[in-house]
Amino acid sequence: MKVEKQSSLTRSIDLTYPTNRAIAIITLLFFLGVAGLQLVQGREISSALYSGLRGGASVFLSWAFARELDPDNEFSAFFAAFLSCIGFMFLTAPFLLVLALELLLIRIVNRSTGIPSKPSDSLAVLLLSGWISLQENWLFGLFTALAFFLDSFLPEPNRHNRIFGGAAFIVTVLAFLKAGGTESTLLDIQSGLFVLSVSLLFIPMIISSQKIKSRGDLTGIPLYPLRIQAAQLTALLSAVLFTYLSGWEGAESLMPLWGAILGVSFYRYLQMILKRLRKASHPD
């Protein structure tokens, strides 16, 4: 609770709640499994533990993304966690720092804690985004500017974020110039089909998220559906654009986010199928 008072973007994990306890156990087991497998393969203890930490963090982040994107369905997050487990075993390890930034940006937009980001929160996000933009890829400065501007215009606007949005955009321009611009990228068939398929699955979910029952963690007030939809669209747009400019390597680096988008989509369609089957078996 003390952390939540210091920041409006952090969410506590109450281990007395069954699903929170479940993801904590899954994360720990995956960490131990990955680390143990690395040790069996002859890796050093420090390297094995590091791989285990990245694996556990990937699974947890995928679950956390899903809880932000689909707040009314807590079980969809476990679909996301499962996909992240599979992805980590077969794909390149994701870029955790970028994923942490993306999670904070989504929380700024959907305001899942119930309260707007504080100036100190926005400054911390801006600094993190600036470092990533200048050191890794200018796109993340653009995503940050978008999140700040959305927060400053959506219901109950947080107007001070217009200043941070402007600052993030300036950083984006500087990072773009430092990188020497960008070359147009033609997606390979694998990446293109992946992006198109996931987008087609997820867009109907964004459209249908017009009624939200979930409430803000700290206020108990129902969340704004428009903010949830904006956060969903922001997450999809970030993943699509980065994959477009970076190819399949970019998709792999954001795999926990892609796993969350896929997981909540699969869960929603499974719900629809089961509902229709129940109606078919019990006609009025």
Query: Does position 5 have pLDDT exceeding 60, yes or no?
Result: no
d(CA 124, CA 95): 19
pLDDT at 20 over 90: yes
Residue 185 pLDDT > 80, yes or no?
Answer: no
Radius of gyration of the chain (CA): 19
Question: pTM (2 decimals)?
Answer: 0.92
Query: If you average pLDDT over residues 18-32, what whole number do you get?
Result: 94
Q: Average pLDDT for residues 247-258, to the nearest whole number?
A: 90
Tokens of 74: 């807590």
Compute the distance between CA of residue 30 and CA of residue 48 in angstroms, rounded to an integer: 12
Copy the structure tokens of residue 40: 């069996």
Q: What share of the chain is helix, strand, coil (3-state, %, to 5)?
A: 75, 0, 25
- pLDDT at residue 11, rounded to an integer: 87
- Report whether pLDDT(43) > 80: yes
List beta partners, residue 222.
215
Q: 95 exposed, middle or buried (CB, 10 Å; 0-12, 13-18, 19+)? A: buried
Cβ–Cβ < 8 Å for 258, 239: yes
pLDDT, tens only, 132-184: 999 989 999 999 999 999 999 999 999 999 999 999 999 999 999 988 766 55
pLDDT for 245 beyond 80 = yes
pLDDT of the residue at 116: 94
Matching residue, tokens 């087609």: 200
Quick check: helix, strand or coil at residue 37?
Answer: helix
Q: In percent, how much of the chain has pLDDT > 90? A: 69
Q: Is the Cβ–Cβ distance between 141 and 129 less than 8 Å?
A: yes
Q: Please give the torsion angle defined by the CA atoms of residues 14, 4, 142 and 95, in that order, rounded to the nearest 10 degrees.
A: -40
CA geometry: angle at 206 spanning 202 and 209, to 5°?
135
The pLDDT of residue 281: 75
Measured CA to CA in angstroms, residue 58 lies from 161, 219, 221 at distances of 29, 29, 30
pLDDT band of residue 93 (cuts 50, 70, 90) is confident
220: left (phi over 0), alpha (psi -120 to 50) or beta: left
Burial of 180 (0-12, 13-18, 19+ CB in 10 A): exposed
Conformational region of residue 116, where left means phi above 0, alpha means psi within -120 to 50, and beta covers everything else: beta
Residue-level pLDDT at 3 = 40
Predicted local confidence at residue 89, as pLDDT: 86
The whole-number pLDDT of residue 34 equals 92
Confidence of residue 31 (pLDDT cuts 50, 70, 90): very high
Q: What is the average pLDDT across 42-70?
A: 93
pLDDT at residue 276 is higher than 90: no
Beta-bridge mates of residue 215: 222
Q: Is the pLDDT of residue 129 over 90?
A: yes
| 10, two tokens | 């952090």
